[in-house]
Every structure is written in C-alpha cells, then in structure tokens.
Amino acid sequence: MIKNLFDNENAIFMGAKRSPDDCAIGIFGVNYDGTCSFKPGARFGPEAIRQVSSCLETYCPKLNKDLENIMYADFGSIIIDKNDSKSVIESVKSATNFLINKGLRPIMLGGEHSITTGAVEALVKKYPDLILVQLDAHADLRETYIGNKNSHACTMQRCLEVLPKKKILQVGIRSGTKEEFQFMHNNNQLVNFCPGGNAQELKQALLPYSKSPIYLTIDLDWFDPSLLSGTGTPEPGGFFWNDFEEILKTLRDFRIVASDIVELSPEIDKSGVSSIVAAKVLRSLILSLENMQ
C-alpha cells in the first residue's frame, strides 16, 4: 500500500520515521504546482523543507518541547499525475485516508493550495463536524479561475462545498476580489488579525467550536514577503514569526486534527530563508499537534 501511494526515496524531515508504527503524526508531500497563476515552483516545496530541516534544532525553547521525544513519520511525497488537477486531488484523498486509517494525524506539505480540497474531502468522512482555519494572504473563494474549478485560487470555495458544517475561519486575509470580501463578511468568516496584534478575535470565533475537529491550512504567503519571499503569489502587508506563534498559541486550546503547509516555492528565494521558515512552521506544528485530543 505504502509503495503504491508514496515515493519515499528522497530526504526525510528531521528525525522522522519511515513507518507509521507507534507514531501519532504522519507527514507527506505533494510535489504539484499545475494550476499556479503567477510563478510555478511549489512542486519543489516538500523536498526543500526536508533538505533544510537538518539546520533546525529539535528543541523549541518557547514550548519547552523536543522533537526527539515525539514519534512522527515522513512517508515521502505521493505519486501523482501532474497533468490532471482532478486526479491529483484524488491522490491526496487516498494518501490522507491511508494516514487516518493508521490512526495518524496528517500534515501535508505542498505544493500549491488546490491540494487542500483532497485532504478535507477525506477528513470529513471521519469528522463530519470538521471546520477549517485558514492562514493565507488570499481569500481563495473564486468559483473558477482561468477556466479551472480546481485552481489554487478556488480552494476555499471547493472546501466549503465538501464541509457539512460550511465553516471556515479565514485569518488576516489581505487580498481578494470585492465579491470575495463581501462573501467573507456575509458568512462571518473573515477573522481580523494584524501584524503584532493579539489573536483574541480568533479565540472568540472559535469558542462555539471548542469540541470541533479543526483542519488548519497554512498558505505560506500569509507571511510577509520580507520574511518569506519564496512563494508564487507574494502579497505585501503580511505577517511575521511572532504572529504565527500567537495564532498557534491560541489554537493549542482547540483541537487540530490535521494540517497543511502549502505554496513554498523555494527557488524564488535563493537565500533559502523561506524554506527554513517553512521547516520551522512544520516543527511548531508537530510539537503542537502531538498531544492534542
């Protein structure tokens, strides 16, 4: 089964295991950027995150936790048909199902944002009351984009279609069409959050969902391009590392059952800093997800 789904002959994230035995968390990559609208290159994201991960310490002083004490697996990247956006989403769904059936909490590495739909589709079978929290510069609520319903510009609209609860909280979105912003306001799903601010509004918005399973999708262009320039559609006016920690601190009181980190396009940022930031996001997620209910 693992053999048919994953290509795991390349690098591995920090001290990850290759097999699911005794693990709580499972990582997999999706090397796909077929619908990217501006600059492609997100297909190199998962590999870049793994490559630079050896530069990071396993210990996080903020959380006083060490990755060395956590069992997590890295299955490599899934095997996909890059020319068919629909089949890529199906493959993501199969991989996510594989991890859930093994009792693992999935963390998916992109790749472009369109892949999130596949993971969410798989998860709602197990968690019908799943809700989404999205960190992103963009609303991603278009009905179609350049003729493709599976474009990364439509991801949240596709997720809404498969979420029985129809609940997405979109944190600090700063780019989209007038219609997308209208839609977010009408559905009460835009959560205001400012660089350097506190996450009170997110906390308030999540209070009615204190028992709900949460899928956290992290489009790395949520960060400011001065910190993370290696992404296909950078957007000025973004967030910084402390802002991410503030969000994660708030989310730790809730119940994240799966997550993704998407849209790292490592070759755009020759310094490699973007890949390091992405790898540190992954480290923080593993440390945070490990003992959630």
Binding site for Mn ion (CB under 5 A): 136-138, 219, 221
Q: Which is nearer to Mn ion, 74 or 219 (CB)?
A: 219
- Exposed, middle or buried, 103 (CB in 10 Å: 0-12/13-18/19+)? exposed
- The CB-nearest residue to Mn ion is 138
Q: Which is nearer to Mn ion, 103 or 236 (CB)?
A: 236
Give the nearest distance from C-beta 240 to Mn ion in angstroms: 17
Do 37 and 221 meet the contact criterion of CB atoms below 8 Å apart? no
Give the nearest distance from C-beta 103 to Mn ion in angstroms: 31
Q: Is 221 annotated as a binding residue?
A: yes
Do 212 and 129 meet the contact criterion of CB atoms below 8 Å apart? yes
190-191 β-sheet, strand order: 6-7, 72-78, 25-30, 105-110, 255-262, 213-219, 131-135, 168-171, 190-191
SS3 213: strand
Q: Which is nearer to Mn ion, 97 or 274 (CB)?
A: 274
Q: Is 140 annotated as a binding residue?
A: yes
Q: Is 260 annotated as a binding residue?
A: no
Q: Which is nearer to Mn ion, 140 or 201 (CB)?
A: 140
Q: Is 224 annotated as a binding residue?
A: no
Q: Which is nearer to Mn ion, 74 or 112 (CB)?
A: 112
Give the nearest distance from C-beta 293 to Mn ion in angstroms: 30
Token digits for 269?
A: 């940022």
Give the nearest distance from C-beta 221 to Mn ion in angstroms: 4
Q: What is the tally of helices (H) and strands (E) in the chain?
A: 9, 11
Q: How far apart are CA 222 and CA 263, in angstroms?
A: 10
Give the nearest distance from C-beta 99 to Mn ion in angstroms: 24
Q: Is 136 annotated as a binding residue?
A: yes
Residue 107 phi, psi dihedral angles, 5° rounding: -125, 115
Q: Is 185 annotated as a binding residue?
A: no
Per 3-state DSSP, the chain is made up of helix, strand and coil in percentages (nearest 5) of 40, 20, 40
Annotated binding-site residues read 113, 136, 138, 140, 219, 221
Cite the annotated binding site for Mn(2+) by residue number: 113, 136, 138, 140, 219, 221
